[in-house]
Chains A and B, each alone.
Chain A
Amino acid sequence: MARMHKSLYNVGALLKGLATTFGFMFVRRPTIEYPSVKKQHAPRFHGLHELRRYADAKERCIGCELCAVACPANAITVIGAENTPQDRRSPGERYAARYEIDELRCIFCGMCEEACPTDAIVLTPRFEMAGLRRGAFVYAKDRLLVPPTEGVGTAPDERPNGIPSDLGRVAEIKSTTDVQTGYDATNRGTILKKQRKGLAG
């Protein structure tokens, strides 16, 4: 008798639980179908770095290594070199011959951004950096530097297409084939986009 009473009591608990579950059927889902749907980030989200250019397409970075000094995770390596009249990379005398960030070490604190005297290094909202090899996370200038044709002279959030579209506005779009050609800060961005299109099509 006592056992039966107990199980009846359990049925009550079960119903209560099912009611909770049933109740969520009328609540808007918090999950999204990543990667075909993406979420809006906080405006000052700290993601993948990029090296900017001036309006005349010269590199802003002067290879001064102050970002490397400021970096609390020792993730940045810069090796400077001298501009020549034949090969002028930046205004002034010095440019960064090598600029490497180990994104696995980076803690995305933004101290490099703070330290930079020329606003060359900035953190974009881009966060997708999956890879299969650790070495692939050492980003060099080929992936960090803005291509000379795109978005020169302005900060990423002031550019015509603003924060890369595939990060911001995609949330409403259901099909990845409709993704607008967004601003790609790195070559990697282009590759990713092509891959994604390939997946969808």
Chain B
Amino acid sequence: MAEQPQSVSVNIDGAKISVPKGTLLVEAAKLVQKEIPVYCYHPKLGPAGLCRICLVEIEGMPKLQIACNTPVTDGMVVHTYNDKVNAGRRAVLEFFLLNHPLDCPICDKGGECDLQDFSMAYGQGASRLAEPKVSKPKAVDLGPTIVLDEERCIVCQRCVRFDDIITGERSLIVKDRGYRDIIATATDDPYRSNFSGNVTELCPVGALTSKTYRFKSRPWDLHRTTTTCTQCAVGCQMQVDERVGEVARTMSIPDDDAVSDGWLCDRGRYNIGFYRDERRLQTPLYRVDGQWTQVGWDDAFALWAKALREAVASGGEQSVGVLGGGRLLNEEAYLLQHLFRSLGVRNLDWRAGTQRQATPGSNAGSLQDLENAQAIVLVGESPAQLAPVMDLRIRKAVSRHRAKLIRVGAIDPLPVVACTTLESAAEVPKALPAGAERVALVWDGVDPKLAREVVAALSDFSGLKTFIASGQNNARGAEVMGMHPAFGPGFAEVDGGKDFSGMVAAARSHSLRALSIFGANPALHYPDGVAIREALRNVPFLAVADLFLTETAQAANLVLPACGGFEKTGTTVNVTAVALPVNAALEPPEGALTDLEMLGCLARALEVQLPSVTELENSVIKHLVATAPSFGLGDAKVCGTTQFGQASRTGGPKLIARTDIFSGGGTVAHDGRIESLRPLPEAAVSPACAQQLGLSTGDCCDLRSGDQTMHDLLVEVRPGLADDVVVVVAGLPDDPANALGFEPVAELINVRRARELAPVGVSP
């Protein structure tokens, strides 16, 4: 009975329920299926008490009360729907509609608009306003992704509060007062955020709209599929809205608390135009004498099988390599390793870039562990650009759960929330808050030595939870399914083969005869650009399955058109080992096959027996469930001996490539709708370094290492960086960061001052 004071009983429209003390009336009403209209209130943002639409009658109170900001009290008797309440709501709506334009026929929100719905339910038919409505600017460009219609805004401030409470970026404000108030950025700069698209979903009216979806469709035209986002390893649940064979938009699932917390990043939301890009591959291409020739699928499989057989016959199984899996589904990754291991091939790897490990092994935590941690240690690059929605959890932990954020080996810009940047792993235990028990360690998977040091430094903490933020969506699935040189499915130890850097070395020494690459672009992402280009040139037979003619595919002998994430059905594993369903929402273009179909046909051409669909599904589930890896972060068994990012410097700053959510050569580079979101090639240096070299933000420079040069980089002076590094953006097709080769010592040359550069659009 000690629990008694903690719960209160309330009577809502005759239904009696008992709820925990402090529950808001609007939430209590949901439990008895009574709808209370809201605009400013949102479960994730909390009450604001601005819109006054949620009026209810509470017995004993003389006036109507707002349900969103009234905690229930014991014995409260509430009426959510009677004449008095409706009259109150009608009056509130009349004020909202005074200056609201009659845009419903052309408004993107029309059909799913709360203002429309509640006006139908509670509003009065006609306006009593005799004067003309106040007119305001209509298509205001708020930033690269969002358009604001100032007339339609009802100033509920959901967007402003999202930018304050959820992202912590605080760039949106309400400007001016009274009927003139509008949403704007505080600095009048464009509204730029990795999460900007969420405000269009939060907006209860059509004031904030996405540039990519503007006037494309009406809500009732869309065919909706629930699937998992396959852009990064968080695996946010999302809804894909398709119309006439095109993805019109993607929407988050607000009650997906387990994975995405109800938000999507802009990469997941806006990078959807590539599915119908005209540059997409529609037929297999075979290179004859340096010229691309279109071939049929039957010929493509025959050529592929013949090349693999010949390579095995002439050079042995060691002369065949496979790269891929991080962008495939579990079923495809399993089949991939099954097919090639059946041929005796041991050179299998998913690691096309710098990341060495995807499965944290022992001490692996869940996203809830991350949110509830008292201290979060980021090792290497933070998830801000690798797995943005994971970064939102970190911001939540810091800003709302008072966690301490610590960075070791940081290369990216300072996070939005307060953090401590450390130089070495040994300082970590001292920096932890006193009495901290729950510590989360988030590693980018690049530098195993650093990870081992941090884990060793934190070995006293029994509540340590580890995470590896992967840029590739199913890196963890690929590892579990056995796309790894040292492990078979379920981390069963097998005879070791070469990892990808081993394959690159073998290719350079002409001992690799055939290489098949599935959904990876090592030409752009492998750290040593000079080596990978030579390796891809030297392999006698290179087959690449991808959506586009990427930098890697351009070096191939055989290119196979594959399908994207919205065109496939299967499962994927997210960053915290949750298996998530992927459902096809879109018909693939004619001529493209999924990797699963490709592998099935290749197996037939090679006369390899594949498991049946049921067997395949069973083994995938078995390995997903029953895996208990014995290794930890940075274990040499998983990471191998290859180490990137350990430059043996001799003077001059060290070059580091950081990720940006909109960098990459595949889906981002081939999406015309998000052209303005792609990052500019930049060279970021610390303030001390900038002072030493006489640089300031906005200057333009070139970077040189040996005989390789990167041209025309914008200098950015960025606090929080180490003094001996230059950070460039990785994965830009026009300026590949790996162009300078492996472990380069960069030299800034040819510096042009910002004031000397002619402003864009002005002739000198």
A residues within 8 Å of B by Cβ? 62-66, 69, 79-82, 92-94, 117
Contact = CB atoms under 8 A, between A and B. Distances in A.
B218 interface: yes
Nearest to A118: B105
Interface in B229-255: 244
B214 interface: yes
A63 B217 CA distance: 9
Most-contacted residue by chain B among A63, A64, A69 (CB, 10 A): A64
A42 to B, nearest CB: 31
Interface string B84-106: 00000000000000000000011
A94 B215 contact: yes
A64 B106 contact: yes
B257 interface: no
B16 interface: no
A80 to B, nearest CB: 4
A57 to B, nearest CB: 20
Most-contacted residue by chain B among A63, A80, A81 (CB, 10 A): A80
A63 B220 contact: no
B180 interface: no
Given A69-B220, A93-B138, 20 more contacts: A62-B105, A63-B106, A64-B105, A64-B218, A65-B218, A66-B105, A79-B216, A79-B217, A80-B106, A80-B215, A80-B216, A81-B215, A82-B139, A82-B214, A92-B106, A93-B106, A93-B139, A93-B215, A94-B215, A117-B105
B221 interface: yes
A80 B209 CA distance: 15
Nearest to A97: B215
Nearest to A64: B105
Given A64-B106, A93-B106, A94-B106, A80 B139 contact: no
A191 to B, nearest CB: 29
26 contacts: A62-B105, A63-B106, A63-B215, A64-B105, A64-B106, A64-B110, A64-B218, A65-B218, A65-B221, A66-B105, A79-B217, A80-B106, A80-B215, A80-B216, A80-B217, A80-B218, A81-B215, A82-B139, A82-B214, A82-B215, A92-B106, A93-B138, A93-B139, A93-B215, A94-B215, A117-B105
A79 B246 CA distance: 12
Contacts of B221: 65
Contacts of B106: 62-64, 80, 92-94
A102 B215 CA distance: 23
A53 B216 CA distance: 22
Nearest to B214: A82
Interface residues of B, number: 13
B137 to A, nearest CB: 12
Nearest to A77: B244
Contacts of A79: 216-217, 244
A69 to B, nearest CB: 7
Nearest to A92: B106
Q: Which 4 A-B pairs have the closest CB atoms?
A: A64-B105, A94-B106, A80-B215, A94-B215
A65 B221 CA distance: 10
B609 to A, nearest CB: 47
Contacts of A92: 106
Contacts of A66: 105
Most-contacted residue by chain B among A66, A81, A93 (CB, 10 A): A93
Interface string B137-156: 01100000000000000000
A66 B218 CA distance: 10
Contacts of A62: 105-106
Nearest to B149: A93
Contacts of B110: 64
A80 B215 CA distance: 5
A110 B106 CA distance: 21
A79 B244 CA distance: 10
A58 to B, nearest CB: 14
Contacts of A82: 139, 214-215
Interface in B431-455: none
Nearest to B110: A64
Contacts of B139: 82, 93
A65 B106 CA distance: 9
A82 B244 CA distance: 18
Interface string B199-221: 00000000000000011111011
A82 B214 CA distance: 7
B144 to A, nearest CB: 16
Contacts of B218: 64-65, 80
Contacts of B216: 79-81
A96 to B, nearest CB: 10
Contacts of B214: 82
Nearest to A115: B105
A126 B81 CA distance: 53
Nearest to B243: A79
B478 to A, nearest CB: 39
A77 B138 CA distance: 27
B673 to A, nearest CB: 13
Contacts of A63: 106, 215
Contacts of A69: 220
A69 B110 CA distance: 13
Contacts of B105: 62, 64, 66, 117
Interface in B119-137: none
B672 to A, nearest CB: 15
A93 B220 CA distance: 20
Nearest to B215: A80
A91 to B, nearest CB: 11
Interface in B51-80: none
A117 B110 CA distance: 14
A63 B107 CA distance: 11
Nearest to A98: B244
A62 B105 CA distance: 8
Nearest to A62: B106
Contacts of B220: 69
A5 B288 CA distance: 99
Nearest to A94: B106
A117 B107 CA distance: 13
A81 B110 CA distance: 15
A69 B218 CA distance: 10
Contacts of B244: 79
Nearest to B221: A65
A93 B215 CA distance: 9
A4 B43 CA distance: 101
Nearest to A65: B218
B437 to A, nearest CB: 54
A94 B139 CA distance: 11
B133 to A, nearest CB: 15
Nearest to A96: B215
A33 B139 CA distance: 57
A117 B102 CA distance: 11
Contacts of A93: 106, 138-139, 215
Nearest to A81: B215
Contacts of A80: 106, 215-218
B521 to A, nearest CB: 33
A82 B139 CA distance: 10
Interface string B633-647: 000000000000000
A100 B553 CA distance: 40
Most-contacted residue by chain B among A63, A65, A92, A117 (CB, 10 A): A65
A65 B110 CA distance: 11
A64 B216 CA distance: 10
A79 B217 CA distance: 6
B321 to A, nearest CB: 46
A93 B216 CA distance: 12
